Amino acid sequence: MAIVSRGFRGRRDQSVPLPPGQYVVKDFPVLSAGPTPRVQLDRWTFTITTEAGAEHAWTWEQFRALPTERFTVDIHCVTKWSKLDTSWEGVSLDTLLAGVDTSASFALVASYGGYTTNLPLADLRGGKAWVAHRFEGADLEPEHGGPARLLVPHLYLWKSAKWVRGFSLHAEDQAGFWETLGYHMYGDPWREQRYWGD
Amino acid sequence: MAGTAVLGRLTWRVADVVSAVAETASARTLVLDVPGWAGHQPGQHVDLRLTAADGYSTQRSFSIANAAAGSRVELTVQRVAGGEVSTYLVDEVRAGDQIELRGPVGGYFVWRPEWTDPVLLLAGGSGIVPLMAIARARAAAPAPAPTPAFASAQRSPSSSKSNQAAPKPVYGRLGSLMPARAACSSKTPDPLFT
């Protein structure tokens, strides 16, 4: 059971329910394990590679010709901050996966700069995930993952890989960068799955 | 596995506040005794949980400032204006209080004593805290590698928008403990490092 912290009252300025252990920020913190990659649009590609080795690739021009969705979501970082009502524009993963023939259950996402993260393929389907290229009405800044980042807002934000360049599909779940370093394989903020064993 | 830090479930532990040491006007170090603490690597952090009398609870992460030393964990905390947790830790907590935490967390930004390469540590503001853990672990290592360079500077809060007032170094006392050359900029930090 939690012990009471003598003299602590708390700010309590939050009326909306938050995942356990989270607090609301108004700014947009940037946390990164390395330098910000600068990706030239004429060299950008997004590639889905199936378990059979088939590649489905889009250039920036082809990606931008796909239908986009505008959506407003709350995002939750494992470092405890949550940002509410963020508005984005991007291509639904349902659109990108429409022509992909696969029976795989897991995706290993890769970014320009070398970052990786893993999640079940089911979490990329069903209108729950996008490759987002605009934030609050403007092109996504490089420090927030531009030109395009994965956005899977129902999982902790480390799953929403910045500078995304694609993912490969697998029968087994393979740990990505933070998942190898102690962070949870799935990362549901509402179940507070921050670390191994949570 | 290299870099692996978290082995099993990280359970919440009750830490006893042994002392609270002022570092600057806006930062202080909480010296904690954490029964059952299994040690940590320099660079790691803890999650800290505060709970009010009516059950309201909130969490934040804080870097560990000391090298591993039994059940002792030191957290150096910078007060953030209006900060829900930092103001409590800097202004309210005193020896004898208890605080819940779990950790250590983070297996990426760490330094290991067996590494012999020179190290350059650069931080802004409270980012110096995990670097202090690294510097202290290095100083305690049997054969420290060549001297690390080290810097920390921070704009004063009032200057963050206006860009007028000179930034002030906030960790002078900590910096002076360094076995290496401590450089606290009194000018606007070089853009190369910010």
Dihedral sign from CA coordinates of B39, B42, B45, B50: positive
Identify which of A23, A183, A197 has the shortest CB distance to residue B8.
A197
Residue B159 is predicted with a pLDDT of: 36
Q: Which residues form the domain of A175?
A: 44-191
The minimum CA-CA distance between A180 and chain B, rounded to whole Å, is 7
As beta bridge partners, residue B49 has B59, B100
Q: Which residue has the tokens 């990362």?
A: A187
**Contact residues on chain B for A23, CB-CB shorter than 8 A:** 58-60, 84
User: Quick one: pLDDT at residue B167?
Assistant: 38
- For residue A17, being part of any structural domain is answered with no
Q: Please report, in angstroms and rounded to a whole number, the separation of the first and last CA atoms in chain B.
A: 32
Whether A29 maps to a domain, the answer reads no
pTM: 0.86
Cα–Cα distance between A106 and A108 in angstroms, integer? Answer: 7
Q: A120 in a domain, yes or no? A: yes
Q: Residue B114 class from Cβ within 10 Å (0-12 exposed, 13-18 middle, 19+ buried)?
A: exposed
DSSP-assigned beta bridge partners for residue B63? B45
* Contact status of A11 with chain B (Cβ, < 8 Å): yes
- Six-digit token string for B60: 């934040």
8 A C-beta contact, residue B96 and residue B58: no
Query: Within a domain: residue A12?
Result: no
- Residue ranges of chain B whose CB lies within 8 Å of a chain A CB: 1, 3-10, 12, 14, 47, 49-53, 55-61, 84, 88, 92, 97-100, 105-109
What letter does residue A96 receive in the DSSP assignment? Answer: H
CATH number at residue A184: 3.90.420.10
Predicted confidence (pLDDT) per residue in A5-22, tens digit: 999 999 877 778 999 999
A64 alpha-carbon distance from chain centroid: 19
Out of B5, B50, B88, whose CB is closest to A181? B5
Residue A15 at interface with chain B, using a CB cutoff of 8 Å:
no
A15 within domain boundaries: no
Cis peptide before A147 (omega within 30 of 0): yes
- pLDDT per residue, tens digit, chain B (194 aa), is 344 444 568 999 999 999 999 998 999 999 999 999 999 999 999 999 999 999 999 999 999 999 999 999 999 999 999 999 999 999 999 999 999 999 999 889 999 888 877 778 888 888 899 999 998 998 887 766 554 555 555 544 443 343 444 334 444 334 434 433 333 333 333 322 22
User: For residue B153, what pLDDT is reported?
Assistant: 56
* Within a domain: A51: yes
Mark yes or no for CB contact A195/B10 under 8 Å.
Answer: yes
CATH 2.40.30.10 domain range(s) in chain B: 13-105
* Tokens coding A23: 């607090």
Q: Which residues in chain B have Cβ-Cβ distances shorter than 8 Å to A11?
A: 58, 84
Any B CB within 8 A of A198 CB:
yes
Low-confidence ranges of chain A (pLDDT < 50): none
> DSSP assignment, residue A82?
E
Number of domains, chain A: 1
pLDDT score at B154:
52
CA–CA min distance B102, chain A (Å): 11
> Which CATH superfamily does the domain covering B13-105 fall into?
Translation factors (2.40.30.10)
> What is the distance between the alpha carbons of residues A71 and A90, in angstroms, rounded to a whole number?
8
Q: Does A68 fall in a domain?
A: yes
State the Cα–Cα distance between residues B31 and B19, nearest whole angstrom: 5
Nearest CA in chain A to B98: A5
Q: For chain A, what is the radius of gyration of the CA atoms?
A: 17
Q: Is residue A59 part of a domain?
A: yes
